[in-house]
């Protein structure tokens, strides 16, 4: 729910919404999968989901199944869920705990958790076969602020280079050490780009989110990232000591060592291509988006709190969860209505206003990423 940029400095006259085919075309969706989701750093979850050696979960990215795990030495790793023998899926359960090995359920090829092949029945009879030549294939994996991101590209842009504008930027929010209080999964009948665009402006807030507009006026705040793959800024929380909750009161202790200015702000950032990050004084909320087709997106929303917030009976983290679950559902409904509208033959691109400079900037980044920029 990024605020509008206070000045028109970043607004480009003539900026218009995307043509309808970008929301409905199976061919364009296929391009997005190939040119964006197999080449960019995609958030797949949190390191805290894998606390112990052997813990794993499966991530589905661009049609690929990836095993994300913590090995016996405590190192986080990612492997394609594909046996090097005849291609069989190694893991079926969405999450669980492995022993010291991963064994293929078909012909019992066996791998260490770091991906080395250590067992291949009868392959010793094959001339020239060496187990060292058949490790699991492993996409690049990075950890940032407790988030796990993978990149399927054969030669990906180094994470430190790709995420340079964000490295250390949110350190004061202590995100890596926060604990998950709730997770809610949504199935939205709308294109993933409509969800990003909706999150990138709050011009709609007085109409769609009257509860939010009372707590953080859409005319408040300023954006500090206004071009490129990372966009957003803050809105001002009007109630002193308050937060974005149903009650308007804070529902947790401060998440980190925050300066006084941050105690009255909520920050909202889009992190291309699938992460929405919302930073409040008392909790952090994030969404991960999983496009299922031109007109369907799975969304996971999770709320993170300081451990003390979850152990003090006078605090109610659910106050923030319920507020954003309500707000999320308001957003998903209007995004579904937008999907229906942009699918009409009557739809033609409309003009963005200066208060929609961030979604316009997001569109430019998307077009650059897919190779359609003029």
Q: Residue written as tokens 């926060």? A: 178
| Rounded percentage of the chain residues whose pLDDT exceeds 90 | 95
Confidence of residue 11 (pLDDT cuts 50, 70, 90): low
Q: pTM here? A: 0.95
**What does the pLDDT read at residue 13?**
73
pLDDT tens digits, residue range 218-257?
Answer: 999 899 999 999 999 999 999 999 999 999 999 999 999 9
Specify burial of residue 346 (Cβ count, 10 A radius: 0-12, 13-18, 19+): exposed
pLDDT at residue 4 is higher than 90: no
Residue 289 contacts residue 251 (beta carbons within 8 Å):
no
pLDDT tens digits, residue range 307-348?
Answer: 999 999 999 999 999 999 999 999 999 999 999 999 999 999
Which SS3 state, helix, strand or coil, does residue 41 take? coil
CATH classification (class only), 42-161 = mainly beta
Q: How far apart are CA 97 and CA 27, in angstroms?
A: 38
Average pLDDT estimate for 34-51:
98
Comma-separated ranges of CATH 3.90.380.10 domains in the chain: 21-39+166-370
Cβ neighbours of residue 142 closer than 8 Å, sequence gap 6 or more: 41, 148, 149, 150, 151, 159, 163
Average pLDDT estimate for 259-276:
98
Task: Dig out the tokens for 372 from the structure.
Answer: 């359609």
What's the CATH superfamily of 21-39+166-370?
A: Naphthalene 1,2-dioxygenase Alpha Subunit; Chain A, domain 1 (3.90.380.10)
Comma-separated ranges of CATH 2.102.10.10 domains in the chain: 42-161
**H-helix or E-strand containing 80?**
strand 76-80
């Amino acid at each position: 729910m990024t605020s509008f940029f206070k000045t028109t400095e970043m607004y480009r006259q003539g900026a218009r919404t995307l043509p309808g085919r970008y929301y409905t075309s199976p061919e364009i969706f296929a391009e997005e999968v190939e040119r964006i989701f197999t080449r960019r750093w995609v958030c797949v979850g949190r390191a805290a989901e894998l606390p112990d050696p052997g813990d794993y979960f499966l991530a589905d990215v661009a049609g690929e199944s990836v095993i994300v795990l913590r090995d016996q030495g405590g190192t986080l790793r990612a492997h394609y869920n594909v046996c090097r023998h005849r291609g069989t899926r190694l893991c079926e359960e969405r999450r669980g705990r492995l022993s010291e090995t991963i064994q293929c359920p078909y012909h019992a090829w066996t791998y260490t958790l770091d991906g080395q092949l250590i067992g291949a029945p009868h392959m010793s009879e094959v001339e020239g076969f060496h187990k060292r030549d058949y490790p699991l294939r492993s996409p690049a994996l990075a950890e940032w602020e407790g988030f796990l991101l993978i990149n399927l590209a054969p030669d990906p842009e180094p994470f430190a280079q790709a995420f340079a504008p964000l490295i250390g930027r949110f350190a004061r929010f202590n995100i890596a050490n926060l604990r998950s209080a709730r997770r809610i999964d949504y199935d939205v009948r709308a294109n993933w780009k409509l969800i990003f665009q909706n999150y990138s402006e709050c011009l709609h807030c007085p109409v769609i989110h009257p509860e939010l507009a009372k707590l953080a006026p859409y005319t408040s705040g300023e954006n500090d990232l206004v071009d490129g793959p990372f966009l957003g800024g803050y809105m001002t929380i009007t109630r002193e000591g308050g937060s974005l909750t149903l009650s308007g009161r804070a529902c947790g202790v401060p998440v980190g060592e925050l300066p006084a200015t941050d105690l009255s702000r909520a920050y909202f950032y889009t992190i291309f291509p699938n992460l929405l990050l919302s930073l409040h004084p008392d909790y952090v909320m994030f969404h991960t988006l999983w496009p299922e087709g031109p007109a369907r997106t799975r969304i996971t929303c999770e709320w993170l709190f300081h451990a003390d917030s979850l152990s003090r009976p006078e605090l109610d983290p659910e106050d923030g969860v319920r507020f954003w679950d309500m707000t999320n559902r308001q957003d998903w409904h209007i995004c579904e209505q937008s999907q229906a509208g942009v699918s009409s033959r009557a739809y033609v691109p409309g003009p963005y206003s200066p208060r929609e400079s961030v979604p316009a900037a997001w569109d430019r980044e998307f077009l650059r990423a897919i190779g359609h920029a003029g």
